[in-house]
Each structure stands twice: as structure tokens, then as C-alpha cells.
Structure 1
């Protein structure tokens, strides 16, 4: 008989073992699970739902809401996230996943969460959404439980083995330099303005990646900044997430300065810096395939490697599987 409860200390080994037996395209180590889940400032044991059959872990579904603001005092009240879920194949189609989801919905309602997302949680998301190609059953399950697709970001990868700064890019840099633009690696004096710029012009998670990344070992040499006179107008970095050198981003240029190929310059400088550091590839998890950034990445040699669906459900007062 399957029984249900929330996380208790000591469950970690069973969780990571079943994770790696089911989420075959997104394996995790105990250390990574510790960092992304247990040590997350928003972790709440009551949100980590577990199903057991006589001591055997049969399924997991993780729900959480924000307990620490990403920026300022905004707790995004009313919003909750499901970063991952998985069920032992032997317990599929037996209501295990549905019961776990109902338990998570009870947790969310207890904390006045109305909007539930899979899985656009920041800062410690595993993937940005459900990968329909590799987890068709999971995608069907989310649709069955009332989730609807909001948008579909893509992950992209590029080989850096033969990457170099072309004559075109070198000429473009000289032209922008003559106009007063400066491109260089970040220094301590840039940090306050850079974090504020990333946080307010783009996304609080981008500012957080820099603010927390540098004390955790992110070298300033991995951050490129662009200035016009004394005004920061763009940046680009790698190694900001989980300390992985080949993980590219975040990357952004002030919208008021777009159209001058400043992003193209920053992107090429950062990728060339990665190559100089010994990286053989660059990758990231999240961009719009048909966005201006997506087109720029393609022209620079990136290729789509995975596609995800960010999904959302608005909770009501009824269990979904009645």
C-alpha cells in the first residue's frame, strides 16, 4: 500500500537514487541536490512530497513558494513553483503522481498560492520547463492536471574548438571605440553598478548570479562589461551559475543601445575568453528561440539542443482528478 508524507532528514539518498533512475536526461549528484534543494533559502520540507510503498520510495514531487525575496521585499505572494517530479515506473498509472500533486496543491493553498508554475523557479531551477521530447509522460501528466503552456524556451550549445575573433568583430570593436564605447573585463569598481543594472534592467536573478557568484569564486575575468562614457550599457559573463565555466550567461545590453551590435561584440569577447580559458563548448538553458538573442546565438554558432515548456495552473478549490 502506498503512503504519503513530506520530507524527513535521511530521505536524500533515496530521492537522488530514484531521481537518477527516472529523470535520465537530468541526473543529479548528492552534492548538487544539497546545493539546489536543501540549502535553498526557500526550501520548505512540507513542500517536498514523497510516496512510499513499505519503505520503498515510489514518487517525489517538489513544491515551494518564495520565503526570501529575490530582490527588495517582493516575495511574489500568490505564486508557487514545482521544479521537479518523478515516479518509479512500476507505480505509474496507479494514481501516485496524482496524489502527490494533490498534496502539493494542499501545501500551496495553505500558503495562499494561486498561480503554480512548472518550473520557472529562480534561483535554483533544474530545468526551465518540461522537456516534452524526453519526458512525454511528464508533459502529458501536467496537461492532465490542468497546466497550460505559457511559452517554450530552448537550450543551446556551441562548440568553441575553432572559435576566434574574426576581422569583422575586431573592426566593429574599433568603430565602436571611436564612438566612445569601451569593452573590458569587470573590475571591483564595476560591481555595484553592474548588479543594479542586471537587477533592474533585466532580471533580479541576473543580479543575484553576480552578487552571489563573485563571493563563491566567480572570477571577474569571466565578466565583460560595456560602457558609453561613464554609463554601464551592457554585460556578458560565463560561470555564474553553479560555478560551471562552460555555462554561458547571463548576458544583456540596455534596450536603448540596441541596434549598434554591442551585444554581438560582448558575446564574441566572452566566448573568446572562454576559449582562452580552455573551454571547448558553451551552453545555456534558457532563451527564446525566435527572440533577437536567439537569432544572434544562431549566427554565432549556437544550435538548439533542447526545448522546454514553461507551464502554469491557476488553483481552485477542487482536487483535479475527481
Structure 2
């Protein structure tokens, strides 16, 4: 007879303590398990989050932010491979749904909860997770993708473009903590508070970075890397009034060059929108595919 499923209980976030389980369970992210957990354990202010654990063999994180109080997100679920097919995943999922309902949510999504997230959705290679959520009645409603860049072979040169931009009064540089007040205000005005938080993390987080373009003291564009994990690039944005200057190309290449110089050999461009741009600019190719699910609770 299989061992009974341990009771699912709420616990305090413990990235180091959770890491062995997540490393075993999430084989395609095992090398970054501790970093993923550390990021998820330090979300932006105002986020409701609950970590639920089933002994040493199961873990789930559910969260909700203020953007849409009716929607909660399942940010992470991990079941030890040796404990699968015993009802562990079902018990964790049921507990997550109950917790989300307790937050006041009416819908639970397997979808990244920006700005602090680990994946856009469920990586399709995690077949047990796909089977779990579909058996539980979740609806697949969207697909997302990452692209990957082979950093040692990519053309990341920017000298000529930076000279061209300089002649037009545009400067390119790496942002510092002193830049954050102006960067946050600009990002919230031009984009949203989500990107403002990710910009802050890319400036402050170890191994991360943010490069900005400016002219006459005004911010024109930015690109960041490492906000959610060191190997990931993004986000990137340009003020609509500064489009068609080629700023994105330069900022992207500068970020990827910094990742390469840090010893990273393959950069993930997360939750990609303009696929042709990244393919053309740095030879990126589609890599990880994610299915996003939702269910009324």
C-alpha cells in the first residue's frame, strides 16, 4: 500500500530548505532552483502569497496581487518524482484552490504573476503537471514562449550603433541605484508599475543589470536582465516618441554581452512578444513553450 499523502500545511518561505525538493522535481530548472525560490520569496509589496507544503515531498505557492483581486496565480508546484501518482499533486492543487478562494479570488491561473514570477505558465515538458491540471478541470487559454540566445556565438557588437546615436545626442549607459527614482517615475508614466519594479530589481539584484538610453536628461528606453533570474533577459521598452532610432538593438546587445561576460552561455528571453526582432537582431530561436491554464474556483 502506498504511503498516505501528508497533510498540506502553510509554511514560511524557506528557499534554502525548499531547494532540494524543487531541484529534484523541476529537472529543466534544477540549476536555478535556489535563485527561483529566492526571487519568489521576495515579491513586491502588496502581494498576498501562501507557501503550502506536504511533508518533504510536495510544495505549492499561490499568490494574488492588487491588479485584479478576482484572479490568483499558482506560481510554483513541485512534487518529488518518487511521490508521484499517489494523490500528492491533487492534494496540493486542492489546497491552493482553497487558499486562493480565501484571498477572495474567483479564478486560479497557472500563469506567471508579473513582475515577480518564475515562468509564464507550465513548460510543456513538465508532462505530469500538464496531466494534473487538465484532470482537475483547468482550461488552457493561452500559449507563451521563451527564446534562447547562444551568447558565445551571437553578434553583440554595439560600437557603430552607439557612435551613430551619440551623433544624435543619445547616450547609452548602465543604470545605477541613483537613477532609480527617475527610472521608476518614467516607467510608471510610459509603461506600468510592473515594469518599474522589474527595472528596480535589475538595477539592485546581484548579477543583474539595466541599460538605458537618454537624451538631454530624459529617459528614452531601457533593457534589463536578471530581474527574476540571472540567465533571463527582459523586460525592454522604448518611449513611443523615441521609436525607430534603433535603441532596442543596442540595449538588448549590451545586456546580453553583460550576461556573457558573467559566464552565462545561453540567455533566455522570457515571455517573448516580437519574435522576428529577436531572431534578426541576435539570432535568437524559439526554445521553451508554456501553456497557460485557468479555472473558476
Q: Establish whether TM, by shorter chain, passes 0.5.
A: yes
Q: Which residue is equivalent to 1:262? A: 247
- Equivalent residue for 1:50, pick from 36, 49, 53: 53
Note closer, same or farther for the CA distance 1:257–1:147 as it changes in structure 2 (3 Å cut): farther
- Taking structure 2 as the reference length, the TM-score comes to 0.79
Query: Cα distance, 1:12 vs. partner?
Result: 7.4
Gaps of 5+ in 2: none
**1:58-77 alignment runs, 5 A limit:** 58-66=57-65, 74=66, 76-77=68-69
- Name whichever of 200-209 and 229-238 sits farther off: 200-209
Query: Cα distance, 1:10 vs. partner?
Result: 10
Q: Which residue is equivalent to 1:181? A: 170
Tell me whether 1:106 sits opposite 2:90 in the alignment: no
State the distance in 1 between where 2:176 and 2:58 align.
47
- Equivalent residue for 2:182, pick from 193, 203, 220: 193
Asked if the contact 2:13–2:51 (Cα under 8 Å) also holds between the matched residues in 1, the reply is: no
- Taking structure 1 as the reference length, the TM-score comes to 0.74
State the distance in 2 between where 1:39 and 1:237 align.
18
Note closer, same or farther for the CA distance 1:30–1:101 as it changes in structure 2 (3 Å cut): closer
State the distance in 1 between where 2:263 and 2:88 align.
43
Query: Cα distance, 1:135 vs. partner?
Result: 1.0
Query: Cα distance, 1:138 vs. partner?
Result: 0.9
Q: Which residue is equivalent to 1:22? A: 25
> 1:146-170 deviations in whole A, cap 9, x for unaligned?
323343222222233245555xx55
Note closer, same or farther for the CA distance 1:110–1:262 as it changes in structure 2 (3 Å cut): same
Note closer, same or farther for the CA distance 1:188–1:14 as it changes in structure 2 (3 Å cut): closer
Question: Which structure: larger Rg?
Answer: 1
Tell me whether 1:118 sits opposite 2:110 in the alignment: yes
CA-atom RMSD in angstroms: 3.4
Query: Cα distance, 1:278 vs. partner?
Result: 4.8
- Equivalent residue for 1:145, pick from 136, 140, 144: 136
Note closer, same or farther for the CA distance 1:51–1:266 as it changes in structure 2 (3 Å cut): closer
Query: Cα distance, 1:62 vs. partner?
Result: 2.4
Query: Cα distance, 1:271 vs. partner?
Result: 3.1
Query: Cα distance, 1:274 vs. partner?
Result: 4.5
**1:195-234 alignment runs, 5 A limit:** 195-217=184-206, 222-234=209-221
Q: Which residue is equivalent to 1:7? A: 10
Q: Which residue is equivalent to 2:278? A: 297
SS at match of 1:27: helix
Q: How many residues end up aligned between the 2 structures?
A: 291
Q: Which residue is equivalent to 1:287? A: 271
State the distance in 2 between where 1:3 and 1:266 align.
49
> 1:161-206 deviations in whole A, cap 9, x for unaligned?
245555xx55444444444433233356643222223344334333
- Name whichever of 143-152 and 34-43 sits farther off: 34-43
State the distance in 1 between where 2:259 and 2:268 align.
14
Query: Cα distance, 1:29 vs. partner?
Result: 7.3
Asked if the contact 2:118–2:228 (Cα under 8 Å) also holds between the matched residues in 1, the reply is: no
Gaps of 5+ in 1: 67-73, 316-322
